[in-house]
Chain A
């Protein structure tokens, strides 16, 4: 049997095989690089060629629909925000109005036709900044612990727990934040912050609710932690062992090995992970909406009520009062869309640059 089979194969393939091997550059083939006459013959045979072409086109259409979705979102948002853009132009993002009710400045009053995105941009930036300040050290600490220090047996369960943290929906974070985190901040943390750090002006106890920028930023931090830490962990694992061994051989302690061997080699990837976390923080809606206080004002104190771009859309879009209000909210959505696209593209490019540069031996 074993002797027989090769003979048959040669005898059968020889007549078709030899004469039809193409001399010039072979046309690109979808499945494999090497061109074989048998395959070509089989592919062109019978009525399957038409079905194949139809299938190919169908799959291309599915893939192209991803482009179409992005273009469609952009088109709808640009068209929907036309009114505000014509009326305010770029001023929409930084203007303020004298209050129609007396003293002070106002930013957002749909009933009086006053629209400015400034308090929302401010709230989004402040909550995201708080989230990053809290999350970055914790996430990197966790990633270091998991890759370099943790006993082997604990690694998988801990990684699974952080993955679970990423799977909890935003609304449940919101419910937990509203019923547990906010009272905790109100009763215990905020008075402490006011007492010790009140002199900075960032923590003024003028808000008895416990809601506000700090509550929003804290829940955001918990939400983006797993993203930053799991991606950082991935790039840290990708650092070749020889790097660690080389530093250790020079007599370094474990921290010096982590600093010089691991962190230095994976810093671009870690920055990419942080930017991805930022992208999530900027667009996060429900949890922030439930704890930020939803007042379109700008405050220096992090304990004050505020609002964010996503929060105002969630609160007002379903029942906006009039075309101008819709248009203004849509323009905020458009800004959010563009910012998150840029941030995510940047993070993606960084992550790609890192994984492409990784030597293959590491995996």
Chain B
């Protein structure tokens, strides 16, 4: 090979290298751009409408100016409470099984796999299944069944929490050293007590983190609520009745033709995103401090 050709090749290689570096940098900028745009727009459009009325008044009828989303905020609280009451214990129980009883067994592997797959099932399908299970037919053994209700919405969201809570609980429990369990059993504490009061307690910051992540995820879910909780233009906190939720009201208001409802939709989006970002940042802060630090 002549010197010129080899020189050309090494220059080409250097050029390609520079080009790829530039492209990777551009890709990063392009990914960050929508994030900045979304947050900027939410602040720009929403901040001016987040006031006391927003938190304490229910929406005015279409076309009228003013009102707030108090009913949606209360409704979201009710639905999320039902979801957590339903999803968190089952999820933690599943995680305890995976980490404490089923380690390495075939059953545990299958459950772990199923949980990961369930995590990817679209939320709209969850809502549909709950509609077919609770909302559409009237069962004597399921409370509040046979019609749209806050309860049905809560169950749909609760089911979506289970896989996330279960897997993070397992991961956190696996980090608890064996010596802690052995010390508990060595003191004559029964196994169930040792699991609940020692192992789970030791891992509790991590487990709470997992629950908050799951909570942040379902707090913004809209799709499964469309045909379970349905929505309600008035204040309601009853489990037995259709209920308004923040994401669903944002959806309805954003698609409406009324300028003032658009304004409320932006304000609602801002409130929702602030709640979620706070939860995620808190989680991030707790995990970066070391989940088990100071406990074990």
- Residues of A bordering B, CB below 8 Å: 30-32, 38-39, 42-43, 45-46, 48, 51-52, 54-56, 58-67, 69-70, 72-73, 76-77, 79-80, 137-142, 144-146, 149-150, 158, 160-165, 167-176, 178-180, 222, 225-226, 229, 253-256, 258, 276, 279-280, 282-286, 290, 310, 313-314, 317-318, 329-330, 333, 336-337, 340-341, 343-345, 347-348
A51-B192 contact, Cβ under 8 Å, with A317-B226, A348-B116: yes
Determine whether the beta carbon of B38 is less than 8 Å from that of A348.
no
Determine whether the beta carbon of B162 is less than 8 Å from that of A80.
no
A341-B121 contact, Cβ under 8 Å, with A62-B94, A65-B94, A175-B269: yes
Say whether B292 faces chain A, with CB atoms less than 8 Å apart.
no
Q: Which 3 A-B pairs rank lowest in CB-CB distance, beginning with the nearest?
A: A169-B220, A283-B122, A62-B93
Neighbour of A340 across the interface among B93, B120, B181, B226, CB < 8 A: B120
Annotate B180-213 by CB proximity to A: 1 below 8 A, 0 otherwise: 0110011010111101000000000000000000
Determine whether the beta carbon of A172 is less than 8 Å from that of B272.
yes
Determine whether the beta carbon of B223 is less than 8 Å from that of A172.
no
Pull 29 A–B residue pairs with CB atoms less than 8 Å apart, ordered by A. A38-B186, A51-B190, A52-B192, A54-B192, A63-B98, A63-B107, A63-B166, A66-B118, A77-B132, A142-B27, A165-B35, A168-B38, A168-B220, A169-B219, A169-B273, A172-B269, A176-B38, A179-B41, A179-B254, A253-B13, A258-B20, A290-B254, A310-B223, A314-B124, A317-B227, A336-B122, A341-B121, A345-B117, A348-B116
Determine whether the beta carbon of A314 is less than 8 Å from that of B276.
no
Min Cβ gap B78→A in Å is: 18
Please indicate the chain B residues that have their CB under 8 angstroms from the CB of A61 in the complex: 93
Say whether B31 faces chain A, with CB atoms less than 8 Å apart.
yes
Which bracket fits the contact residues of B? 35 or more
A158-B28 contact, Cβ under 8 Å, with A73-B126, A180-B41, A336-B125: yes
Min Cβ gap B286→A in Å is: 14
Min Cβ gap B108→A in Å is: 8
Q: Is the interface of B mostly helix, strand, loop or mixed?
A: helix
Say whether B159 faces chain A, with CB atoms less than 8 Å apart.
yes
Please indicate the chain A residues that have their CB under 8 angstroms from the CB of B119 in the complex: 344
Instruction: Report the bound CA distance from A70 to B114 in whole Å.
Output: 8
Instruction: Report the bound CA distance from A343 to B227 in whole Å.
Output: 26
The total number of A-B Cβ pairs within 8 Å is: 290
Please indicate the chain A residues that have their CB under 8 angstroms from the CB of B32 in the complex: 158, 161
Say whether B141 faces chain A, with CB atoms less than 8 Å apart.
no
Neighbour of B129 across the interface among A72, A140, A162, A165, CB < 8 A: A72
Determine whether the beta carbon of A317 is less than 8 Å from that of B182.
no
Instruction: Report the bound CA distance from A39 to B190 in whole Å.
Output: 10
Question: Residue on A with the closest CB to B220?
Answer: A169
Instruction: Report the bound CA distance from A254 to B121 in whole Å.
Output: 39
A141-B97 contact, Cβ under 8 Å, with A168-B38, A285-B223: no
Most chain B C-beta atoms within 10 Å of own C-beta, residue among A51, A140, A141: A141
A167-B277 contact, Cβ under 8 Å, with A59-B96, A59-B101, A283-B122: yes
Query: Which residues from 88 to 133 on chain B have a C-beta closer than 8 Å to any C-beta of chain A?
Result: 89-94, 96-98, 100-103, 107-108, 110-111, 113-126, 128-129, 131-133
Please indicate the chain B residues that have their CB under 8 angstroms from the CB of A58 in the complex: 93
Instruction: Report the bound CA distance from A173 to B129 in whole Å.
Output: 25
Please indicate the chain B residues that have their CB under 8 angstroms from the CB of A45 in the complex: 188
Determine whether the beta carbon of B191 is less than 8 Å from that of A174.
no
A73-B125 contact, Cβ under 8 Å, with A39-B185, A48-B191, A48-B192: yes
Neighbour of B111 across the interface among A67, A176, A314, CB < 8 A: A67
Min Cβ gap A192→B in Å is: 17
Neighbour of A149 across the interface among B25, B100, B181, B216, CB < 8 A: B25
Please indicate the chain B residues that have their CB under 8 angstroms from the CB of A56 in the complex: 101, 192
Query: Which residues from 230 to 285 on chain B have a C-beta closer than 8 Å to any C-beta of chain A?
Result: 230, 247, 250-251, 254-255, 262, 265-266, 269, 272-273, 276-277, 280, 284
Determine whether the beta carbon of A31 is less than 8 Å from that of B255.
no
Determine whether the beta carbon of A172 is less than 8 Å from that of B42.
yes
Say whether B26 faces chain A, with CB atoms less than 8 Å apart.
yes
A138-B31 contact, Cβ under 8 Å, with A65-B162, A69-B118: yes
A290-B38 contact, Cβ under 8 Å, with A31-B178, A79-B132, A285-B123: no
Determine whether the beta carbon of B124 is less than 8 Å from that of A76.
no
Neighbour of B122 across the interface among A79, A140, A310, CB < 8 A: A310
Determine whether the beta carbon of A167 is less than 8 Å from that of B276.
yes
Determine whether the beta carbon of A141 is less than 8 Å from that of B28.
yes
Please indicate the chain A residues that have their CB under 8 angstroms from the CB of B284 in the complex: 160, 163
Most chain B C-beta atoms within 10 Å of own C-beta, residue among A43, A144, A168, A226: A168
Say whether B175 faces chain A, with CB atoms less than 8 Å apart.
no
Determine whether the beta carbon of A290 is less than 8 Å from that of B133.
no
Question: Residue on B with the closest CB to A347?
Answer: B120
Say whether B14 faces chain A, with CB atoms less than 8 Å apart.
yes
Please indicate the chain A residues that have their CB under 8 angstroms from the CB of B182 in the complex: 31-32, 39
Most chain B C-beta atoms within 10 Å of own C-beta, residue among A65, A276, A347: A65
Question: Residue on B with the closest CB to A65?
Answer: B90
Determine whether the beta carbon of A229 is less than 8 Å from that of B223.
no
